[in-house]
């Protein structure tokens, strides 16, 4: 696309070296489990808020959504809104209660008043499944992205890039723990927001600060014409399509605040008030970011045009890089590419940390060692898990490279909304909720989500399916959330009502009082 | 030989351990057990905690239902009433785009409103409940 591979590589390398140095400096005193998992809860609300947005804004958001707006217009914008609105749930229901109740993982909260072993195992399973799916999608995306930005087209070359991404991310986690990873998120989030804001201001300036003028020019540069500004291009062709989008929107708005790597970030602040502040900051960052992608998406259409975007390697994902080249030449393209690369690295590092914490804290320390594990050996297990998870992600990413795995990102949200949200809500608000109910809700949500997906058009029977030549799809929607989220709530209810087990009223009182006030948590 | 002194027959030694906690002794009002750990069942039943829970509920429940309805309604309108959403309002900016931008505005507004409500109405009440325990003295 006219970019300069040497410049791109140079900017990447500088970014990796700087962040590795920061991680090294931040991580030298990583001794305790609390340091490794939660950065000693030493971050402030604003810092954690910026890091939250860094953890959350994947390359799929930056390149994917701006590209989707450039190609699908209104429907791309419609998709982006769920990513912002969803933070309200995190703000008002999840963040403060989670900070008060748990220490390091989701399992801490879910198992608080339940039988420890089965519930911790369930929480760890969900965390590992979601993290791995999400990571494989990111890693496969990294391959495609680097193909686009570095002009690497051989499968072997892309596999090497995926392996390098995996190794750097494991290094971040091993050397820096949560503190180092958080600083990577902060650096990346600031770079990303600065980059999109500058591009947006430039675009607005070019069109006389009139959004309407950008939209009008954009609509003249696409075969869709003015229709690009109206709903229906991407998600409106058939009734199934419409329902599919509603299912996706539901999973987005309910799933965000239940993603394990987002949940874990709330433990890096000292108390509930800072957790609340961090969501406020994150919401500002998200709103700014997605308003900018609106302008960038339509700006790409206005200045680059749909024909060039469609014919570029990488298709719609190349809209933002192409626009950067158009307005700032090879240097801005290099910067945008580096930011996109940083985005992938930071997100996968956050996921690796979350997965390793869940295994080491929930499975090793609380199940295998029954809560008697030596903190040092717990951290050792966590680091070892990070290496294993990193390897799995590299292998999975290479295997999935070239596949249409965009649905895996949406699946992670559906899984989080199905398996985590119902259990978090029930255990905080429903006195009778018990261990059986928790297990039914977790496994019911997780199982139904994966089961429905396996028989959906995303896996077989369509042109963009994983197995285009086979057809065993009978479930019409690619996004299972519309069914699996209510199903998980139903399972949790039935499991509780049908079991003879009574919940422990003293533990319930402790959890409720502690979740709202922090009494008993040792937090101030 | 002196007679052994029996411990006070009170089931709640936490209330100052004096047997008859009828005086306005601040130490006697703490809802803690004999080791100073918080008595969660008593706390859950205390007027201050119930007031905190009420204040949270009256804000969070309507606000959550409201934003979910507003967002899902917007999505449903975009899916099922594309002509309505395509009505131009300002220049080429149509009703759908305007509603979309309003989603951003409403999200930020609700976020700031909740943060303010929490600061003014919830945090002081949390402090009131916490002061029933020895939590902040250690």
Lowest average pLDDT, out of A100-109, A214-223, A244-253, A305-314, goes to A305-314
CA distance linking residue B18 with residue B24, whole number of Å: 13
CA nearest A250 in B: which residue? B72
Based on the fold, state whether residues B80 and B26 are members of the same structural domain: no
Lowest average pLDDT, out of A370-384, B45-59, B115-129, goes to A370-384
Does residue B24 carry a pLDDT above 70? Answer: no
Interior/surface letters B53-82, b for 16+ CB within 10 angstroms, e for the rest:
bebbeebbeebbeebbebbbebbebbbeeb
Q: B137 in a domain, yes or no? A: no
Residue A319 C-alpha, separation from nearest chain B C-alpha, in angstroms: 21
Q: B100 in a domain, yes or no? A: yes
Distance of CA B51 to the CA centre of its chain: 9
Question: Which residue has tokens 């998406």?
Answer: A297
User: B76 contacts in A (CB within 8 Å)?
Assistant: 246
Based on the fold, state whether residues B56 and B115 are members of the same structural domain: yes
Based on the fold, state whether residues B77 and B38 are members of the same structural domain: no
CA distance linking residue A128 with residue A149, whole number of Å: 30
Q: B7 in a domain, yes or no? A: yes
Torsion angles phi and psi, residue A200, rounded to 5: -65, -45
Domain count along chain B: 2
pLDDT at A503: 86
User: Residue A423's pLDDT band (boundaries 50, 70, 90)?
Assistant: very high
Task: Establish if B131 touches chain A: CB-CB under 8 angstroms.
Answer: no
Task: Establish if A224 touches chain B: CB-CB under 8 angstroms.
Answer: no
What's the per-residue H, E or C state across A218-258? Answer: HHHCCCCHHHHHCCCCCCCCCHHHHHHHHHHHHHHHHHHHH
Based on the fold, state whether residues B39 and B58 are members of the same structural domain: no
pLDDT at A356: 93
User: Residue B25's pLDDT band (boundaries 50, 70, 90)?
Assistant: very low
> If residue B89 lies in a helix (H) or strand (E), which one and from where to where?
strand B88-90
Q: B24 in a domain, yes or no? A: yes
pLDDT at A29: 61
Based on the fold, state whether residues B8 and B68 are members of the same structural domain: no
Range of the domain at B3: 1-45
Q: B40 in a domain, yes or no? A: yes
Residues 6-45, chain B: which have Cβ within 8 Å of A?
A: 37-38, 40-41, 43-44
Q: B75 in a domain, yes or no? A: yes
Does residue A67 carry a pLDDT above 70? Answer: yes
pLDDT at A31: 66
Range ranked top by mean pLDDT from A471-475, B9-13, B50-54? B50-54
Q: Are residues B40 and A506 in contact, defined by beta-carbon separation less than 8 angstroms?
A: yes
Torsion sign across C-alpha atoms A207, A208, A209, A215:
negative
Best A88, A424, A511 member to test B by mutation, with max B CBs in 10 Å, is: A88
Based on the fold, state whether residues B71 and B35 are members of the same structural domain: no
User: Residue A278's pLDDT band (boundaries 50, 70, 90)?
Assistant: very high
Does residue A152 carry a pLDDT above 90? Answer: no
Based on the fold, state whether residues B51 and B111 are members of the same structural domain: yes
C-alpha to C-alpha distances, A298 to A72, A199, A218, A315, A411, nearest whole angstrom: 10, 12, 6, 16, 27
Q: B68 in a domain, yes or no? A: yes
Tokens in use for A499?
């079991």
Q: B135 in a domain, yes or no? A: no
Based on the fold, state whether residues B50 and B70 are members of the same structural domain: yes
Lowest average pLDDT, out of A131-145, A166-180, A422-436, B59-73, goes to A131-145
Torsion angles phi and psi, residue A77, rounded to 5: -65, -45
Based on the fold, state whether residues B22 and B58 are members of the same structural domain: no
Mean pLDDT of A31-52: 90
C-alpha to C-alpha distances, A190 to A92, A180, A193, A322, A488, nearest whole angstrom: 25, 16, 5, 22, 37
Based on the fold, state whether residues B22 and B59 are members of the same structural domain: no
CA nearest B42 in A: which residue? A509
CA distance linking residue A456 with residue A474, whole number of Å: 6
Based on the fold, state whether residues B26 and B88 are members of the same structural domain: no
Does residue A308 carry a pLDDT above 90? Answer: no
Does residue A146 carry a pLDDT above 80? Answer: no
CA distance linking residue A522 with residue A178, whole number of Å: 21
Does residue A286 carry a pLDDT above 90? Answer: yes
Task: Establish if A251 touches chain B: CB-CB under 8 angstroms.
Answer: no
The closest of A319, A289, A286 to A302, measured between CA atoms, is A319
Inter-chain contact A88–B107, Cβ cutoff 8 Å? Answer: yes
Based on the fold, state whether residues B51 and B19 are members of the same structural domain: no
Best B36, B51, B82 member to test A by mutation, with max A CBs in 10 Å, is: B82
Does residue A242 carry a pLDDT above 50? Answer: yes
Delineate the domains of chain A, giving CATH numbers in brackets. 5-20+32-517 (1.20.1730.10)
Quick: pLDDT tens for A460-507: 877 777 788 888 888 999 899 999 999 999 999 999 999 988 888 999
């Amino acid at each position: 696309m006219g970019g300069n591979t040497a410049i791109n590589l140079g900017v990447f390398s500088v970014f990796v070296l700087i962040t590795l140095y920061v991680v090294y400096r931040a991580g030298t005193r990583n001794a305790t489990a609390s340091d490794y998992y939660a950065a000693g809860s030493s971050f402030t609300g604003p810092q954690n808020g910026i890091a939250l947005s860094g953890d959350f804004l994947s390359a799929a958001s930056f390149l994917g959504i701006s590209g989707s707006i450039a190609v699908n217009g209104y429907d791309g914008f419609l998709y982006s809104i769920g990513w912002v609105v969803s933070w309200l749930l995190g703000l008002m229901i999840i963040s403060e209660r989670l900070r008060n109740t748990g220490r390091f993982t989701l399992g801490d909260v879910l198992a608080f008043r339940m039988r420890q072993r089965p519930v911790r195992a369930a929480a760890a399973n969900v965390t590992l499944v979601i993290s791995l799916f999400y990571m494989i999608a990111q890693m496969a995306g990294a391959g495609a992205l680097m193909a686009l930005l570095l002009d690497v087209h051989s499968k072997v070359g892309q596999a090497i890039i995926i392996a390098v991404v995996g190794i750097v991310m494991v290094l971040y986690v091993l050397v820096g723990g949560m503190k180092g990873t958080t600083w990577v998120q902060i650096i990346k989030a600031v770079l990303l927001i600065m980059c999109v804001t500058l591009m947006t201001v430039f675009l607005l300036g070019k069109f006389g600060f009139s959004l309407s003028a950008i939209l009008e020019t954009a609509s003249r540069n696409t075969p869709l014409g003015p229709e690009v500004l109206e709903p229906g291009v991407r998600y409106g062709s058939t009734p199934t399509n419409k329902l599919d989008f509603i299912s996706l929107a539901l999973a987005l708005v309910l799933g965000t605040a239940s993603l394990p790597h987002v949940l874990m970030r709330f433990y890096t602040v000292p108390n509930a008030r800072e957790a609340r502040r961090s969501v406020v900051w994150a919401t500002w960052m998200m709103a700014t970011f997605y308003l900018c992608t609106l302008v960038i998406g339509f700006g790409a259409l206005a200045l680059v045009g749909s024909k060039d975007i469609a014919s570029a390697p990488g298709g719609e994902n190349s809209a933002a890089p192409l626009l950067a080249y158009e307005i700032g030449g090879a240097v801005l393209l290099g910067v945008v590419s580096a930011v996109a690369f940083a985005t992938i690295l930071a997100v996968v590092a956050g996921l690796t940390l979350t997965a390793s914490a869940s295994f080491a804290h929930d499975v090793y320390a609380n199940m295998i060692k029954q809560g008697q594990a030596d903190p040092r050996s717990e951290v050792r297990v966590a680091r070892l898990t990070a290496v294993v998870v990193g390897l799995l992600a590299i292998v999975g990413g290479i295997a999935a490279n070239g596949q249409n795995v965009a649905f895996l990102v949406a699946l992670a949200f559906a899984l989080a909304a199905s398996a985590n949200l119902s259990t978090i809500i029930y255990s905080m608000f429903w006195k009778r909720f018990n261990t059986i109910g928790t297990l039914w809700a977790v496994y019911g949500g997780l199982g139904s989500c994966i089961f429905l997906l396996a028989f959906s058009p995303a896996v077989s029977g369509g042109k963009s399916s994983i197995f285009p030549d086979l057809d065993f799809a009978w479930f019409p929607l690619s996004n299972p959330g519309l069914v699996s989220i209510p199903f998980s709530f139903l399972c949790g209810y039935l499991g509780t009502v049908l079991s003879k087990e009574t919940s422990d009223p003293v533990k319930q009182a402790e959890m409720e009082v502690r979740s709202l006030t922090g009494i008993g948590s040792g937090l101030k | 030989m002196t007679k052994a002194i029996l411990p006070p027959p009170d089931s709640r030694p936490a209330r100052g351990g004096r047997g008859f906690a009828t005086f306005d002794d601040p130490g006697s009002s703490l809802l803690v057990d004999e080791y100073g750990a918080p008595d969660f069942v008593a706390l859950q039943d205390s007027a201050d905690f119930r007031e905190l829970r009420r204040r949270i509920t009256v804000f969070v429940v309507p606000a959550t239902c409201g934003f979910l309805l507003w967002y899902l309604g917007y999505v449903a309108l975009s899916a099922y009433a594309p002509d309505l959403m395509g009505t131009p309002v300002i220049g080429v900016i149509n009703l759908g785009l305007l509603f979309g931008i309003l989603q951003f505005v409403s999200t930020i507004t609700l976020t700031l409103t909740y943060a303010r409500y929490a600061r003014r109405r919830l945090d002081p009440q949390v402090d009131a409940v916490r002061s029933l325990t020895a939590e902040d003295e250690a």
